[in-house]
Amino acid sequence: MSNKIRKIGVLTSGGDSPGMNAAIRSVVRTCAFHNIGCVGIYRGYQGMIEGDFKEMGPRTVNNIINKGGTILKSARSMEFKTPEGRKKAYDNLVKAEIDAFVVIGGDGSFTGALLFNTEYNFPVIGIPGTIDNDIFGTSFTLGYDTALNTVVEVIDKIRDTASSHNRLFLVEVMGRDAGHIALNAGIGAGAEEILIPEEDMGLERLLDSLKKSKATGKSSSIVVIAEGDKIGKSVFELKDYVESNLPEYDVRVSVLGHMQRGGSPSCFDRVLASRLGVKAVESLLEGKSNYMAGIYQDKITLTPLEQAIKGHSEIDKELLRVSDIVSI
């Protein structure tokens, strides 16, 4: 393959997140700025296998910067995990004269891109799009800031009911493997306790904390729980456990679910998506491949895809300490 890039594909893969459309827009317009073609690849790697492509120009991405979800759609592709599936994808890219692609997604999407590059030496740059903020090599992933603001807004509304009825609310947020949303939204919304996968709080400590809250005059409480918390019980089992041990509490459960993934992206996510899109395209034009564009200390950086996949995003220990202090 010639080193000269004339056309770049862009796809979104894995779970959607607010800011993906802003990133698509940035990729398309950066291509136009540099006078190269851009092709939208629909439904992730499955669309690549099926040749579901559409030429995109600056006007095809009008009025999408403010929209959640992804106009290119997203889909899981089992077929792309097979050598035959990847061969079909490669043949379609060559036929469409696509010389490189930008994939917006999480570590599963990056793993697919890395494997594809290994087999076909096909230039690729990743943009991290997931609300969980669990990708190594970037301080923020697309959609995380929006999800946090959504969760805080909802918990604020729940607190109105909790305090009106002297209730304890267990609020489950997304974060199967990472507690970033629970920890930050919990502090932002003034939660009494925060349960996250990285820290095993234990049931006894939770009960002690709730007893202390009651003793110090708190009439209502909010406990924020990441869905992957290590306490070992579903949020509904946890409700039964608390009620059987602390009968003075009237416990309610709210599972926020997919509402955290939707909605108009925050200004932060729109600006980040715009910056990452420019970096992704310009990195490909400079001959770089197998990197993820991310942000660290407000500078746009490149991390090798392999590191982004294998690395582990750490929870901020100082935030845990802050949480303990301000929830007294």
Question: Is residue 230 scored above 70 in pLDDT?
Answer: no
The mean pLDDT value of the chain amounts to: 91
pTM for this prediction = 0.92
- Please tell me the predicted confidence (pLDDT) of residue 48: 97
* Cα–Cα distance, 121 to 117 (Å, whole number): 5
- In this predicted model, which residue has the larger pLDDT, 48 or 320? 48
**Contact assessment for residue 90 and residue 120, using Cβ atoms and an 8 Å cutoff:** yes
- Please tell me the predicted confidence (pLDDT) of residue 246: 84
**Which range is least confidently modeled, 233-242, 262-271, 297-306?**
233-242
**Contact assessment for residue 44 and residue 11, using Cβ atoms and an 8 Å cutoff:** yes
* Cα–Cα distance, 39 to 93 (Å, whole number): 10
Q: Which of 107, 132, 145, 229 is catalytic?
A: 132
**Contact assessment for residue 132 and residue 183, using Cβ atoms and an 8 Å cutoff:** no
Question: Is residue 56 scored above 80 in pLDDT?
Answer: yes
pLDDT band at 219; cut points 50, 70, 90? low
The yes-or-no answer on residue 91 being catalytic is no
- Please tell me the predicted confidence (pLDDT) of residue 302: 98
What does the DSSP assignment read for 54-74?
EE--GGGGTT-TT--S-TT--
pLDDT tens column, 129-183? 999 999 999 999 999 999 999 999 999 999 888 888 878 899 999 987 788 999 9
- State both tokens at 167: 């209730």
**Contact assessment for residue 143 and residue 259, using Cβ atoms and an 8 Å cutoff:** no
pLDDT tens column, 246-259? 888 888 999 998 88
- State both tokens at 282: 């310009």
Q: What mean pLDDT comes out for the span 23-32?
A: 98
pLDDT band at 312; cut points 50, 70, 90? confident
- Beta-sheet strands, E only, within the chain: 7-12, 37-41, 53-55, 100-105, 124-128, 167-173, 193-195, 221-226, 250-255, 291-296, 299-304
Q: What mean pLDDT comes out for the span 205-230?
A: 79
- In this predicted model, which residue has the larger pLDDT, 218 or 211? 211
pLDDT band at 231; cut points 50, 70, 90? low
In which residue are the tokens 């990441």 written? 226
pLDDT band at 2; cut points 50, 70, 90? very low
Question: Is residue 112 scored above 90 in pLDDT?
Answer: yes
**Which range is least confidently modeled, 57-71, 110-124, 173-187, 282-296?**
173-187
**Total number of residues shown for the chain:** 328
